[in-house]
């Protein structure tokens, strides 16, 4: 009986050897979208996905996650290419609305580590899409442009911890909110600096709404302290916003995270 079953065993093994590469090569884009949604708690989603996990396109949607009804989509499709390389995977992302040049990243898995290195880049994103993330963004309803620059940015996951290297700068330009009649309220800069203890710094570039603050990632949690205030002749126009974004202390609004 064992001898009789042997040809069937070889046949099954041969079929698997032929089918499995085909499955991997033509894996639908939905496989990628499902895993991204699960990894982000549903807050970052790819809808209307087309193509495969290797070459595809979808609509990028930000949501409040869970049972939230908030969502906002990036204007235009997001396109990607994922290719094997000698030391991992090479990822290229292009958004017609926002990336003058495609974003390029190298993904490597080695010795229990996952390393993602982003090639130096510049991109521009609509601030309005943040409203999809729910509280407090759905109340603020921000408007303006988010200009992102990265230099040597790299993230490494090992033993459940993440380490950051390099630098990222996010400039929020000509920002406004439905909570204030001022158009715009100002422009701001958020800087991320990697290292043993990654740090954040918030500053005001210009405008009647003044924002400052700093923070660090301690034990994988962000601890941030900042404050917001209004120019003396703009306090009335910004009162509602200052009441929402932090805890009022006289003319200031104190912002704390973590």
**What secondary structure, in 3-state letters, does 187-229 show?**
EEEEEEEEECCCEEEEEEEECCEEEEEEEEEECCEEEEEEEEE
pLDDT tens-digit map of 126-138: 999 999 999 889 9
pLDDT tens-digit map of 52-88: 989 999 999 999 988 888 999 999 999 999 998 877 8
pLDDT of residue 4: 44
Backbone torsions φ then ψ of 218, nearest 5 degrees: -115, 120
Percent pLDDT > 90 in the chain is 67
The distance from CA 73 to its chain's CA centroid, rounded to whole angstroms, is 13
Q: Is the pLDDT score of 228 beyond 70?
A: yes
pLDDT tens-digit map of 131-158: 999 988 999 999 999 999 999 999 998 8
The distance from CA 107 to its chain's CA centroid, rounded to whole angstroms, is 16
Q: Is the pLDDT score of 21 beyond 70?
A: no
State the chain's mean pLDDT as an integer: 87
d(CA 126, CA 208): 21
Q: Is the pLDDT score of 7 beyond 90?
A: no
CA-nearest of 118, 117, 136 to 68 is 136
Q: Between vectors from CA 95 to CA 30 and to CA 162, what angle results, nearest 5°? A: 70
Is 95 or 19 the better-scoring residue by pLDDT? 95
Q: How confident is the model at residue 112 (pLDDT cuts 50, 70, 90)?
A: confident
């Amino acid at each position: 009986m064992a001898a009789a079953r042997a040809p069937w065993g070889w046949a099954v093994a041969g079929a698997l050897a032929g089918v499995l590469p085909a499955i991997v090569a033509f894996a639908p884009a939905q496989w990628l979208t499902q895993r991204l949604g699960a990894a982000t708690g549903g807050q970052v989603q790819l809808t209307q996905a087309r193509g495969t996990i290797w070459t595809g396109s979808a609509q990028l949607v930000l949501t409040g996650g869970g049972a939230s009804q908030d969502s906002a989509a990036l204007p235009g499709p997001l396109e990607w290419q994922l290719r094997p390389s000698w030391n991992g995977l090479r990822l290229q992302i292009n958004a017609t609305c926002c990336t003058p040049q495609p974003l390029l990243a190298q993904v490597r898995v080695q010795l229990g580590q996952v390393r993602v290195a982003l090639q130096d880049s510049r991109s521009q994103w609509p601030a309005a899409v943040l409203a999809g993330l729910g509280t407090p963004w759905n109340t603020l309803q921000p408007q303006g442009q988010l200009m992102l620059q990265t230099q040597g940015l790299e993230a490494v996951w090992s033993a459940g911890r993440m380490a950051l290297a390099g630098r990222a700068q996010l400039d929020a330009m000509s920002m406004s909110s439905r909570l204030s009649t001022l158009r715009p309220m100002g422009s701001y800069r958020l800087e991320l600096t990697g290292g043993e203890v990654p740090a954040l710094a918030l500053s005001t570039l210009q405008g009647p709404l003044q924002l400052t603050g700093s923070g660090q990632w301690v034990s994988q949690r962000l601890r941030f302290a900042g404050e917001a205030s209004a120019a003396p002749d703009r306090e009335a126009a910004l009162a509602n916003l200052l009441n929402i974004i932090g805890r009022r202390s006289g003319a200031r609004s104190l912002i704390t995270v973590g």
